[in-house]
Amino acid sequence: MWSDNPVNQKVAVRMLEKLGYHADVAANGAEAVEALSRKEYSAVLMDVQMPEMDGYEATAEIRDREGASRRTAIIAMTANAMSGERERALRAGMDDYVSKPVKAENLGAVLERWALPPGEANFLEDARDGAPPDTPLLDRSVLDGLRELSVPGEPDILAELVGLFLEDAPPRLEALRAALDEGDARRVKEAAHALKGSSSNMGASRMAEICARLEEAGTLGDLIEAPDLLKRLETEFAQARSALEGEVS
């Protein structure tokens, strides 16, 4: 299925494949609910922030439709690794929680608790999400983890992900600028959240941290510092682009 964040989608699906699972992808909560009405899944990886219907709303709808007849395991995925986020997910009817950027070992441990063994399980993934001077431009551990997702005989997964990220990020930066020009705090929050997720998944640590500050500004409705943050974000993206291209050249 189509996803509006190809980097996050590709990383998650490849992780599941490396763990031995098969995954279908839904672009938003409404598609996830519809997919579950057509097919049974062992588990759902539910991004809590999605367009049209967020992860909490989708979970409530799924639980309402299931009734007492069955219960599909729903695992929350969020870039907001804050205290209380796991409890909120559980209260919403989800069964477990993983924070982004997702590590393969963490995802595997969660799936062992809730899903059938690899090869027997189907998954549905909802793929929708200023840096301190000592924050590295690129997180080496994230890049190494992405390289480990490569499959012998297939194109280099890191090169493919870098290409997707470098294609996906510029329009998201444009969306951020347009939202700022119009003073639309909600759109600033949404655009920053989406770019934060893909930046984290690519190990672009400084970009992710600036996006987090822009997301917070949008959440609070305080955009005074947002133009300066966006300028810094654009500078960080230029540097990250060069560094990532160097990683795969």
> DSSP assignment of 120-185, as one string?
T-EEEEE------TTS-SS-HHHHHHHHTT--TTS--HHHHHHHHHHHHHHHHHHHHHHHHHTT-H
Average pLDDT in the chain:
83
> What is the tens place of the pLDDT at every residue in 84-106?
777 788 888 888 888 877 888 88
Percent pLDDT > 90 in the chain is 34
At position 237, the amino acid (one-letter code) is: F
What's the confidence (pLDDT) of residue 27? 77
At position 81, the amino acid (one-letter code) is: A
At position 39, the amino acid (one-letter code) is: K
What's the confidence (pLDDT) of residue 69? 58
Contact 158, 244 (CB under 8 A): no
Q: Which CATH superfamily is domain 6-126 in?
A: Response regulator (3.40.50.2300)
**3-class secondary structure, 210:** helix
Residues of the chain with CATH 3.40.50.2300: 6-126
> What is the tens place of the pLDDT at every residue in 57-76?
888 898 888 876 567 889 98
> What is the tens place of the pLDDT at every residue in 137-174?
899 899 999 999 988 888 889 999 999 999 999 999 99
Q: Is the pLDDT of residue 193 over 50?
A: yes
- For the structural domain made of 140-248, what CATH number should be given? 1.20.120.160
> What is the tens place of the pLDDT at every residue in 196-238?
999 999 999 999 999 999 999 999 999 998 998 998 899 889 9
> What is the tens place of the pLDDT at every residue in 12-60?
888 888 888 888 888 778 888 888 888 888 889 888 877 678 888 888 8
Question: Rounded to whole angstroms, how far apart are CA atoms 232 and 199?
Answer: 14
Residues of the chain with CATH 1.20.120.160: 140-248
What's the confidence (pLDDT) of residue 35? 87
The reported pTM is: 0.58
